[in-house]
Amino acid sequence: MRQENSIWLGNHRYEVDWLLGWVVTQRLGLAGGSKIVGKQSLRLLPIIGWCWYFTEAIFLRRVWSSDKAVLERDLKRLVDDYPKDYNFT
């Protein structure tokens, strides 16, 4: 598998789906170039949530009226900070 950056969006019912995504990307050697987009409540998880916060994860409330601005701001920041690494099409 190629080494490339990615954005994983989990739209699942369980609070531990992030763990599966983390394990899969880690095993494939892709975790270092991945960004997390998750529910706002995940930010409050001890240690894991705090680490995600400091690695610039994108946290959403699942309310489009506020999430739209958050996504626009944070995705723009990714493109501005890492212009060659992300390709949004």
Per-residue b or e along 46-58, where b marks 16 or more CB atoms closer than 10 Å to that residue's CB: eeebeebeeeebb
Residue 88 within a domain = no
The two structure tokens encoding residue 77: 């920041």
The predicted model scores a pTM of 0.68
Residue 26 within a domain = yes
Extended strands (E) in 1-89: 6-9, 34-39, 58-60
Half-sphere exposure of 71 (CA within 13 A, CB side): 15
In this predicted model, what pLDDT tens digit does every residue of 22-51 receive, in sequence order? 788 888 887 777 778 888 988 898 998 888
Residue 10 within a domain = yes
Number of domains the chain is built from = 1
Low-confidence winner among 17-31, 57-71, 74-88 (lowest mean pLDDT): 74-88
Q: Residues 54, 55, 56, 60: is their CA dihedral positive or negative?
A: negative
Check pLDDT > 60 for residue 13.
yes
Residue 86 within a domain = no
Q: What percent of the chain has pLDDT over 70?
A: 75
Residue 87 within a domain = no
pLDDT for 7 = 62
Residue 64 within a domain = yes
Residue 41 within a domain = yes
Low-confidence winner among 27-41, 51-65, 67-81 (lowest mean pLDDT): 27-41
Residue 27 within a domain = yes
Residue 40, domain extent? 6-81
Extended strands (E) in 18-85: 34-39, 58-60
